[in-house]
Structure 1
Amino acid sequence: MTAAVEHNGFGRNSRSMLRRLRDVMAEARAPQERLDSITSIIAADMAAEVCSVYVRRADNLLELCSTEGLNQDAVHRTLMHFGEGLVGDIAARAQSLALSDAQSHPKFAYRPETGEEIYQSLAGVPVMRADRLLGVLVVQNRSRRQYSDEEIETLETFAMVLAELLANGVLGEQENRNDAALRLTGQTVAPGIGIGIAHFHRQSAAIRRVVADNPAVEKDRLESAMEGVRSRIDTLLAAPDLAEAGEHRDVLETFRMIAHDRGWLARMNDAIDNGLTAEAAVQRARADMRARLGSVQNPYLRERLADFEDLANRLIAQLADEDETGEGNGTTVTRDQPYVVVARSMGPAELLDYDRHNLNGLVLEEGSATAHVAIVARALDIPVLGNIPGLLSEVNPGDRLIVDADNNQILLRPTEDVEEYFHTGLKARAETRARYQALRDLPAQTLDGVDISLLLNVGLMFDLQQLDATGATGVGLYRTEIPFMVRRDIPDVKQQTDAYRRVLEGAGGRPVTFRTLDAGGDKHIQAFDHDPGDNPALGWRSLRISVDHPSLLRNQLRAILRAADGAPVDLMFPMVSTVGEFDAARSILDRELEHAIRGGEKLPSNLRLGSMLEVPSLAWQLPEILSRVDFLSVGSNDLQQFFFAADRGDQRVTHRYDPVSVPFLRLLKQIADACEEYGKPLTLCGEMAGSRIGAMALVGIGYRRLSMAAASIGPVKETIRAINYSDLETFISNLLKSREGRLVEHLKAFARDHQVPA
């Protein structure tokens, strides 16, 4: 058995190896000579026949800069793009890779000048510093050798040492400098527009020492730094603009709990025992977490990774005591001009480190609308765009940057005329908001006196503030799944009761319609993990989960009834596809009502029960469902998706997804006519209600209650107040009798002819 196979993590030999590498780093020799020595030392310690170092160059190229075992003529000649070959794949994903038969891997790219065709096994790790990729470290062997986890861990530690040499740029320029204007697209995380200088979020301070001289001293330093970080988190959470209860508080309190995780501290202490400094031990623990969670798709685990990244950054900065910038050492990061923070990802508390006065936006290479930092950003009204591939390689510190989160884009290094256009747009936006504000207290009433109720779709406590700001008449849809999505466990009855009571109090007496848990599909509940199936939108989700797990639904219904505390309350079941499903859910509600009566609890003075119509099958059961409900709500987003058999998120089929079309409007009118016949109130919740043209179409076919995002209330109200309903109803009735498929242009023409803003 070779020495490498016997290798077992960071033992006494590895501590000696780290000191040898440190000595080489300190030698007064040319950088290339030092790099070659390091390469040889690593090869010997790993019992590898090849050890190679690839360094990142301009345009995301990787240059072979040193090797022990491959042809020396290939050094400084072999170049690979990010994503090209196994080395390029390691760089592109910033993740380690170990293969016993590398040449059979589909990513393998043969380079004849290297002479590597005789080597079968390969292990490679990214060389990172301050979350920036500097290169790739690779070892190879002729035999089909299975590299152990301990060997990969050792190689990653060697890469940390190597990063200190490469970070100084002594081997030439490391990164490309981009100067051209560029547009990148992403996903809206928090709406809005912001303009400012790009400021790179400092993912971690530089680690100046890797090898420990005295483990006991390092453990004391780590414990002291951990206490400092915990204290800093407590200070951040005490900020006045975060004091109000809500989902952002739940997120931040969960983050605080992770900072007290003793298991994490124990792993770092073990790394110190094995020869690392406190800073390197934190980096080692972070690398382990990345290796385990970096490629998972589970949103809960991805959030845990972001939390640990945040805490690791804080610990390293605390240990490094980088007080020259104030970043990460317990003080707030300030900028004297408007700026936009650029990051790969961000934990929920990291945004709080920045002075909000000039913080005009946040852009993330990763991150989604359900990310924890998104919830905090929305509470602070900061525009955020996430899921932007290649962001960090395209943006330079100090670049001018426009965040247009409303249109899913950022503009890098915009020309003066483009930036002026957006500044003009921001001014016009402010003027438009003032115009909508003037409509706030006026009714959404047509010119001939038809009243339309405009309601809010709400998912966060922050959204409730928009009730007063917009003049909405109530909450047409409260998404109860959001509190489930931001927690690591299922909230109990008391926690849910407190949350729903805050919602009712925040509504200030205006009606609130609670939708029961709509889990599954694209709404991942952290504590309720299950296989989404081949087609999650059509799978086990929403009411199907609640009926199959009645205790889940019972606890939620019990919490809603208690939160009402005798006041009126409306609730509805989502994704009802058959009357039988509704009856099953209704029987669970009846048992909860009996339970409340037996317990002497207050019942709502008026409990109204409704169903959402999102599945087309329910449209062919209207008499049966309308005889059972107090109201009906159409969920237009899912209904359209199922009606057209077209995923609305798939750009390849968006042209098939047309809500303002004859067949879909005929279906909606059929629903409206049935509700009118049975005397049951009808609401439409969804994006269709929030567009001017969509709202015109809905009003014209008989809808009187529309629920939408807060930003849509003003524009839709302005449109409704300019409409003569009688003219619109006649116009749309005639259109629906025609064979025309798309009606958008017809409705726009009507708006122009009748001076209706559309």
Structure 2
Amino acid sequence: MRDTAGGPRVLLKRLRELMAEALEPQDRLDRIVRDIASNMVAEVCSLYVLRADSVLELYATEGLNPNAVHLAQLRLGQGLVGTIAASARALNLPNAQEHPAFAYLPETGEEIYNSFLGVPVLRAGRTLGVLVVQNRTKRHYREDEVEALETTAMVIAEMIAAGDLSRLTRHDGLELDLRRPVSFKGLSFNEGIGLGHVVLHEPRIVVTNLFNEDSDQEMRRLEASLGSLRLSIDDMLSRRDVAFEGEHREVLEAYRMFANDRGWVRRLGEAIRNGLTAEAAVEKVQSDMRARMLHMTDPYLRERMSDFDDLANRLLRQLMGRSPDDVAASLPKDAIVVARSMGAAELLDYPREKLRGLVLEDGAATSHVVIVARAVGIPVAGQMKGAVSMSENGDAIIVDGDEGMIHLRPQSDIEAAYAEKVRFRARRQELYRELRKKPSKTKDGVHVDLLMNAGLAVDLPQLAEAGAAGIGLFRTELQFMVASTFPRAEAQERLYRDVLDAAEGKPVTFRTIDIGGDKVLPYFKGSLHEENPALGWRAIRLTLDRPGLLRSQIRALLKAAGGRELKVMLPMVTELGEIARAREIMDREVRHLSRFAHHLPTSLKLGAMIEVPSLLWQVDELMQAVDFVSVGSNDLFQFVMATDRGNTQLSDRFDPLSVPFLRVLKHIADAGKRNHTPVTLCGEMAGRPISAMALTGIGYRSISMSPASIGPVKAMLAELPVGELKAFMDDNLSSHAVDLPMRALLQAFADDRSIPL
């Protein structure tokens, strides 16, 4: 390069002029490669663009055979160009033909060139092509020349993203990689199918102003924004509501480390001195870093990638004067939110009437945002690694919550097939609506109460819509999880009163606050890092240690239920002494309210959840100590089978319909019958027709599920001969040799009798 200080700036200035001219896309590309070659004193400059079929096609060249344009091709990973595209790393070689990856393309005439510099064309960490310069003399290209070519590649990436090059290929039916249809297989977190358009939860900020007029001014803008960013991170770390330990603090510490990283700041400065604006410099360095980190195998470093992305987005917002609160400002009417992870409150910020689905790169079926998504009735697919970086705002997308799949930019035949599925589901839902007012009875006349799970005000309209017999589990902690501070007693009382009003006399069971473990409240002081949070300081253990929290909640419940029945359930009970202590607190609050002449409930019932296996060896004593029992099948299965329910490697390994677990559940149902104590099962298995059928067969006459599951379960019950099923279950659960898994046996039982599952 002639002038190491002015070369990149001169080149960018020329590119800006070319972008402004009214040129056909091919003419513009030809002029760009010619100017790059001239500026870098290179005898060859070539641009290869990645197509949707993972082939790199030569789109423009100066110096190679012009007839090879749109004919010369390399597969991803083939040759030097394919290696750069696959690795997202530059190659700087004094003698290209000695490199083991070199592949000779006779149509190009490149055999006479020795030195080779190739850089990936990157956008948001995705490789869209490769830009190459070559010379006959053997030499290493200087660092500033590499930087100049990378900066130029960024400009070309924006051309590709804008769609200017899509019609240039001579290969009919092939699109560029940016628009390539792609499918992801993950896990189903909530059933249903959603067709719509991508809304990135943390939208990629599009930088439109690429070229700077004054490098010194851009450096001052960068330094000012970096200063503000560092101050905001320091402020968040010093605030009282950030605990001194915990994952959220580690994330902020990682942000501070990146914000003060000299190497990162130096690269930003170099990009500005090469002619980019401050925001374009951040976009370039972020894209380079993301492309490199995507190919790292170290899981810790890959996790840090999302920290770096978030920090860079914060800096871009500072530079461009954007507010982070603008996320859901203008949504399409069929929004499908795509996120790495989300908090429960963040999902509620989106208008419910526009939401069609949720895609998460992380998370688990029992994470808080998924619970909220179920409450609002949208399909959720999780563990979709790479979905965020492959998506653009506005992309067409299909979420298959039944199979745990997403289809990004789907082909027309896939879209048509799913549209038919959606129509079929709508017809089926119409049939379920017709069952709404019919009693939930089996074919031989046995009544089964179908209750619904809830936890937020948005759930309440579904009580009537689903035809539920009541609310079998109201998760009171969700109100705490979606709030930024502890809900005041008045707010709690108002919510509980609204719930009872909406129930219109139907039974409602309120579970006392179940926080701790994985349900962390950022504003709650005193939670410590635990090796095994699911087995730790949570639920009734926490509230008995913080009795003020339990007292204020019990008082709000008692006041809200004045003149009505109140059912309160304790979570995570391990021994009977915990029930006795909770009853003392409740009795004390009743006496306190009576003293001040408050309107009290007409009846007060205290129950316990069976989630901890220790209760199985004191089940008769438990039934005598409480007014009712609820089985928390999610946690009970986790503890009985020693299976972390958030661990995706174990998610399909153990079956709740296995003989050992069904025996445990039957043991509880039999104890309830023996002691005349009502038993309800709340959990995922209650909402699936095949497992609801199994529960009915072992004696459960009350089960609680998501509102959307009530219709399918009621339809199953209408065709179920429960007398036959009981005999079938007794035989198979008492047998010491079951040849087939219980799930297969139950499916065969249903198939033989045309029971819809």
Sort the TM-score into its range (normalised by shorter chain): 0.5 to 0.7
- SS of the counterpart of 2:656? coil
Does the CA contact (< 8 Å) of 1:130 and 1:206 recur in 2? no
Deviation at 1:406, TM superposition (A): 3.1
Unpaired stretches in structure 2, ≥5 consecutive residues: 1-5, 19-29, 41-47, 57-78, 91-98, 102-119, 131-146, 170-174, 226-267
CA distance in 2, matches of 1:329, 1:556: 34
The yes-or-no answer on 1:192 pairing with 2:207 is no
- State the distance in 2 between where 1:590 and 1:448 align: 43
3-state SS, counterpart of residue 606 of structure 2: strand
Q: Is the 8 A contact 1:372 1:486 kept in 2?
A: no
Of residues 366-375 and 443-452 in structure 1, the stretch that sits farther from structure 2 once superposed is 366-375
What residue in structure 2 maps to residue 629 of structure 1? Answer: 626
- Contact residue 377 and residue 708 of structure 2 kept, 8 A: no
CA–CA distance in structure 2, aligned partners of residues 307 and 564 of structure 1: 47
Taking the TM superposition and a 5 Å limit, the aligned residue runs for 1:662-701 are 662-701=659-698
Alignment of 1:585 onto 2:582: yes
Aligned to 1:457: 453
Match of 1:247 in 2: none
Paired position in structure 1 for 2:498: 502
In 2: Cα distance, 1:483 partner to 1:533 partner: 24
Offset from partner CA, 1:188-245 (integer Å, 9 cap, x none): 56653123566878532324168698999x99xx99xxxxxxxxxxxxxxxxxxxxxx
Aligned-partner Cα distance in 1 for 2:331–2:672: 56
Q: Distance in 1 between matches of 2:460 and 2:307?
A: 25
Match of residue 641 from structure 1: 638
CA drift of 1:24 comes to: 9.0
Q: 1:428 to 1:369 in 2, by over 3 A?
A: same
Summarize the alignment of residues 503-582 of structure 1 with structure 2, pairs less than 5 Å apart: 503-528=499-524, 530-582=527-579
Aligned pair count reads 627
Alpha-carbon distance in 2 for matches of 1:488, 1:355:
20
Is 1:472 matched up with 2:468?
yes
- Specify whether residues 346 and 18 from structure 1 end up closer, same or farther in structure 2 by C-alpha distance, changes over 3 A only: farther
Q: Which secondary structure does the structure 1 equivalent of 2:618 belong to?
A: helix
Q: Which amino acid aligns with 1:427?
A: R
Q: Which residue number in structure 2 is paired with residue 177 of structure 1? A: 177
- Do the aligned partners of 2:197 and 2:332 also contact (CA within 8 Å) in 1? no
The verdict on how the C-alpha distance between 1:362 and 1:303 changes in structure 2, with shifts beyond 3 A counting, is farther
Q: Is the 8 A contact 2:687 2:713 kept in 1?
A: yes
Tell me, in whole angstroms, the C-alpha distance in 2 between the residues paired with 1:672 and 1:582: 20
Rounded Cα–Cα distance in structure 1 between residues aligned with 2:352 and 2:543: 43
Superposition deviation, residue 566 in structure 1: 3.8
Q: Deviations over 1:22-52 (max 9, x none)?
A: 879869998689999999xxxxxxxxxxxxx
Cα 1:398–1:483 shift into 2, 3 Å? closer
Q: For 1:98-133, what per-residue CA distance to the aligned partner results, in whole angstroms no more than 9, with x for missing partners?
A: xxxxxxxxxxxxx999xxxxxxxxxxxx99877978
In structure 2, C-alpha distance between the alignment counterparts of 1:602 and 1:305, rounded to whole Å: 54
State the AA in 2 paired with 1:192: G
- 1:476: how far off? 0.5
The alpha carbon displacement at 1:434 in A equals 1.6
Aligned to 1:11: none
Partner of 2:744: 745
Q: Cα gap change, 1:332/1:663 in structure 2, threshold over 3 Å: closer, same or farther?
A: closer
Q: Give 1:298-697 correspondences, 5 Å limit.
A: 316=320, 332=330, 360-361=356-357, 363=359, 365=361, 382-392=378-388, 394=390, 401-412=397-408, 418-528=414-524, 530-650=527-647, 652-653=649-650, 657-697=654-694
CA shift, 1:543, in A, is: 1.9
Give me the whole-angstrom Cα distance separating, in 2, the residues matched to 1:676 and 1:367: 38
C-alpha distance 449-586 of structure 1, shift in aligned 2 (>3 A)? same
1: CA distance, partners of 2:365 / 2:198: 21
Match of 2:728 among 703, 709, 731: 731
Does the 8 A contact of 2:207 with 2:283 survive in 1?
A: no
Structure 2: how far apart are the matches of 1:370 and 1:734?
Answer: 33
Report the Cα distance in structure 2 between the residues aligned to 1:329 and 1:613, rounded to whole angstroms: 41
Task: Tell me the distance in 2 between the aligned counterparts of 1:334 and 1:391.
Answer: 19
Inter-partner Cα distance in structure 2 for 1:401 and 1:189: 17
Structure 1 residue 722 corresponds to structure 2 residue 719? yes
Return the offset for 1:711.
Answer: 1.9
Residues 251-291 of structure 1: CA deviation (Å, up to 9, x unaligned): xxxxxxxxxxxxxxxxxxxx9xx99999789999x99xx9x
How far apart in 2 are the matches of 1:179 and 1:667?
A: 52
Match of 1:495, as an amino acid? A
| CA shift in 2, pair 1:597/1:360, >3 Å | closer
Q: Are the structure 2 counterparts of residues 375 and 133 from structure 1 closer, same or farther at C-alpha, using a change threshold of 3 Å? A: farther
Does residue 204 (structure 1) correspond to residue 205 (structure 2)? The answer is yes
How far residue 629 of structure 1 moved from its aligned partner, in angstroms, is 0.6
* Paired residues of 2:195 and 2:356 also in contact (CA < 8 A): yes
- Cα distance in structure 2, aligned partners of 1:661 and 1:128: 50
- Name the CA shift for 1:452/1:588 in 2 (closer, same or farther; >3 Å): same
Distance of aligned partners of 1:31 and 1:671 in 2 relative to their CA distance in 1, 3 Å threshold: same
State the distance in 2 between where 1:380 and 1:279 align.
Answer: 38
TM-score normalized by the length of structure 2: 0.64
d(CA) in 2 for partners of 1:506 and 1:311?
A: 46
SS in 1 for 2:207: coil
Q: Does the 8 A contact of 1:197 with 1:339 survive in 2?
A: yes
* Amino acid of the structure 2 residue aligned with 1:203: R
Aligned partners of 1:677, 1:349: CA distance in 2, in Å?
46
- 1:457 Cα offset (Å): 1.2
Is the CA contact (8 Å cut-off) linking 1:314 and 1:329 kept in structure 2? no
1:419 and 1:21 map into 2 onto residues whose CA distance is 44
> Which ranges of structure 1 fall in alignment gaps of 5 or more residues?
1-15, 40-54, 63-75, 91-110, 114-125, 137-155, 224-270, 320-326
Q: Cα–Cα, structure 1 residues 130 and 33, in superposed 2: closer, same or farther, change >3 Å? A: same
What CA deviation, in whole Å up to 9, does each residue of 1:342-374 have, x standing for no partner?
Answer: 6667898899899967x7545454677799987
- Check 1:753–1:392 CA distance in 2 against 1; reply closer, same or farther (3 A cut): closer
CA contact (8 A) 2:278 2:319 kept: no
Assess, with a 3 A threshold, how the Cα gap between structure 1 residues 519 and 18 changes in structure 2: closer, same or farther. Answer: farther
Deviation string for 1:653-709 (max 9, x for gaps)? 456523333332332222222222222111111122222232222222221111111
Larger radius of gyration: 2
1:413 Cα offset (Å): 5.6
Contact 1:306 1:345 in 2 (8 A): no
Moved more, 30-39 or 577-586: 30-39
* CA deviation after TM superposition for structure 1 residue 713, in Å: 0.9
Conservation of the 8 A alpha-carbon contact between 2:366 and 2:646:
no
Work out the percentage of aligned pairs sharing the same amino acid.
41
Q: Partners of 1:415 and 1:403 in 2: how far apart?
A: 14
